[in-house]
Structure 1
Amino acid sequence: MAPLPVALALLLLGCASAHESGAAAIQAEEAPCRDDGDCAFTRVAQGACCPMLCTPRAVTKKRAAELEANLPICTGGKPESCPRPVCRDRGTSTAPVCEAGRCVARTVTPRSD
């Protein structure tokens, strides 16, 4: 059995590697963009197949199209098999916008309460 410090070092290296690759994947979904027209919303969480997010996330238009096209493939041709989340109306309106070369969600209409 490895001594505790060696085991902890291996654990930290594994976590760092996973974190770095995750950050790169997020960057690939959100960037690059030149203007607001390059951005879109998706309700598919990163690494998921079905649109389950109550609050959509901003991604590039290209990535949103890829996620939409992948739905029949990742569900075995049965997109209706995806669960339908019950989401509460947040009372705000958001739009996907391009800021500093990255797609982000911006509040357009704030809550009035």
Structure 2
Amino acid sequence: MENTSTNVIDIIKKLSDLNFQKDVWLEGKYWDRVSSFDEAVNTLEDYNFFSYIKENKMGLTESEKNKIESFNTKLIGYDGEDFQLMLNDPLWKTIANEANEIVKILENYTW
């Protein structure tokens, strides 16, 4: 399952990278499998990331699990339809910053 964790971490890194989002999601400068906000969330769902966290199949500490669940709630609840607005939205910037923290946690686990 190491491939799953590698792919999930890659997607979350892209959620943290505003330059990537501007280049790919807004300006379409190059192709990436994470071609939009919705694609990122859907792909995380495809990898069962949200249920893995909810069911704590990775053996996270309670603190780590709570932090990731909080991030997931914000991510799933975010309206990422307008990329131009999104990239300037303080709430999105907060979510993107949190994504960096989530990556640091996940890099300690393989599932």
Query: Which structure has the highest helix share of the two?
Result: 2
Do they superpose with TM above 0.5? Answer: no
Q: TM-score, normalised by structure 2?
A: 0.23
Which protein has the bigger strand share?
1
Rg larger in structure: 1
